[in-house]
Structure 1
């Protein structure tokens, strides 16, 4: 993936609620994507009457997944309603072209009785798929969105900090081990990566995701803005019902709640994120974080409208590095 000067100026981070809805349904259908999400899988319930057979057809392995189903957010605060409206506004000709690329792949040898109904009226298929994605959001993601959103916010804030301190090379190197940056080009290893892609002034959207693991997804076909979806930091602890139990000595020195918060900050996080993870009120978490920061165990910094907390070297030493 080759960057011109203007592409470097047009790289941005975004959150995509619609992507999470799409990828959550995909995760439910494929056991090899469920490793980090087993507590969620046990509780997740797909909407009654959901057309999963059609959805399965649109997530081939290997093969092309229609990009109109997950358009890149236009801004950092794009809602799922905005994204679903964007899906419904996709021109029927674009929908048909992408459906054909997905469904008529000769490697798949799909029967005509499965394919023809979807291609007969692309606009109707588009609208039905938008409804299905909306149902995935309501049933699979929306109940957990505060927790998921907090983790994604924390990921972006930490990446922005890395960018400010180490530049684009350090940022790209830390996003995923399958990425290699040489100063003008980004090598992406993965099944969705094209052999060669010139951004040509379109820039690149970087989207962290909790449900993309273990994949790394690059959307590169026009007319969509090039988008890289990568696994967010901290997904392994996303569904933990509570924080790690602090050692008695640490709990005795700091108090059990503050010791638990200190242990939970193995990765930088926000007040909201910690509250969602630990089942505490944001106000209570905020007070304890302020106290820990006052005695030099935590540091904090602002990234946009979010405040991130992280252990200081002293705080890490007290936890034993855990």
Structure 2
């Protein structure tokens, strides 16, 4: 069944992008229990396995049903476009106990036996203590799982926001929204997500928060209930190359596939660059680099964007996957 978000006239003016370290922390915890999310996260999972084993995540996992409601108060939409984890966890700690109790009861009902478990009964009997316990668990998960890698994660998420902000300026909201993920469609007033959970909400003038996520992949997530601002969480661009360390040379397999110079051009694009910058970096003629860039772009491995008199090239997710997956 589909999920639908219905836009009114004012909602078109109140859409914004945001990133959330709190959300990434929650979804990283969820990913530990979701093998279907492990493909792109395997290097991270190997690295944090020992540290994660020292965490007590049972309380958080109890509120993360595979299908059903997760409490919005514990993983709310971001409070600003670039809020820090400290700001977000402070907002969680300030949650209204009675509202948190009702929200948590809905989540517990999605897991057989959870409402009658000792932990579930204790939470519902003392929601203020529940808020403290769960906020402490999330903060410890942040410290161990996410904080060491947050600069890298934030850079990827900010690059996604920058890319899609440019697309918004180029093509408008109606074209951008279905570009965020193939499961999204747009009919001029309603954004529809093809998924197994039926959900519908009128945005009612609140607009829509668009939030890229690393650890939510491959899911696209909606479903925040009032009074929370409607939010769409989608997989960020470039996840395939996130955990790959820069190589000291062009991978041999990529050279065999593309040829030495073309492979060198693709490998050199760790960040967006112009033809002139790449030519200088690689010691190649600008005309040769331009030719290689055209071929790589036509093959879907690069995108190009004009800024004033310059054209910047950057890898697509496919280009990232190729440079990440080829052994040296």
Give CA deviations for 1:114-147 in whole Å, capped at 9, x if unaligned.
4112212111111111111111111111111121
Higher deviation after alignment, 145-154 or 293-302: 293-302
Give CA deviations for 1:198-237 in whole Å, capped at 9, x if unaligned.
1110110010000001211113301110111110111111
CA, structure 1 residues 49+311, in 2 after alignment: closer, same or farther (shift >3 Å)? closer
| SS class of match (2:70) | coil
| SS class of match (2:222) | strand
User: What is the alpha-carbon distance in structure 2 between the residues aligned to residue 205 and residue 240 of structure 1?
Assistant: 29
Give CA deviations for 1:32-63 in whole Å, capped at 9, x if unaligned.
21111001000114457633221111001212
1:84 alignment partner, one of 73, 82, 89: 89
Q: Is the 8 A contact 1:180 1:188 kept in 2?
A: yes
* 1:27 equivalenced with 2:34 (yes/no): no
Q: Is the 8 A contact 1:220 1:226 kept in 2?
A: yes
| 1:4 match | 8
1:62 alignment partner, one of 61, 67, 72: 67
* 1:115 equivalenced with 2:120 (yes/no): yes
* 1:247 equivalenced with 2:251 (yes/no): no
Q: Is the 8 A contact 1:15 1:208 kept in 2?
A: yes
| 2:224 match | 220
Q: Is the 8 A contact 1:250 1:259 kept in 2?
A: no
Q: Is the 8 A contact 2:19 2:82 kept in 1?
A: yes
| SS class of match (1:219) | coil
TM-score by length of 1: 0.79
| SS class of match (1:206) | strand
Give CA deviations for 1:280-308 in whole Å, capped at 9, x if unaligned.
xxxxxxx9569469947586667xxxx99
Higher deviation after alignment, 4-13 or 110-119: 110-119
CA, structure 1 residues 225+192, in 2 after alignment: closer, same or farther (shift >3 Å)? farther
Q: Is the 8 A contact 1:193 1:218 kept in 2?
A: no
Q: Is the 8 A contact 1:162 1:171 kept in 2?
A: yes
1:138 alignment partner, one of 139, 143, 156: 143
CA, structure 1 residues 5+139, in 2 after alignment: closer, same or farther (shift >3 Å)? same
| SS class of match (1:218) | coil
* 1:207 equivalenced with 2:219 (yes/no): no
Q: Is the 8 A contact 1:251 1:259 kept in 2?
A: no
The structural deviation recorded for 1:151 is 1.0
| 1:168 match | 173
> RMSD value over aligned CA atoms?
3.3
Q: Is the 8 A contact 2:255 2:263 kept in 1?
A: no
* 1:231 equivalenced with 2:235 (yes/no): yes
CA, structure 1 residues 255+53, in 2 after alignment: closer, same or farther (shift >3 Å)? closer
CA, structure 1 residues 236+250, in 2 after alignment: closer, same or farther (shift >3 Å)? closer
| SS class of match (2:40) | coil
User: What is the alpha-carbon distance in structure 2 between the residues aligned to residue 56 and residue 252 of structure 1?
Assistant: 48
| 2:267 match | 260
| 2:300 match | none
TM-score by length of 2: 0.78
User: What is the alpha-carbon distance in structure 2 between the residues aligned to residue 112 and residue 43 of structure 1?
Assistant: 33
The structural deviation recorded for 1:248 is 8.6
* 1:151 equivalenced with 2:156 (yes/no): yes
Q: Is the 8 A contact 1:207 1:228 kept in 2?
A: yes
User: What is the alpha-carbon distance in structure 2 between the residues aligned to residue 15 and residue 239 of structure 1?
Assistant: 19
Q: Is the 8 A contact 2:72 2:224 kept in 1?
A: no
Unmatched 5+ residue regions in structure 1? 272-286
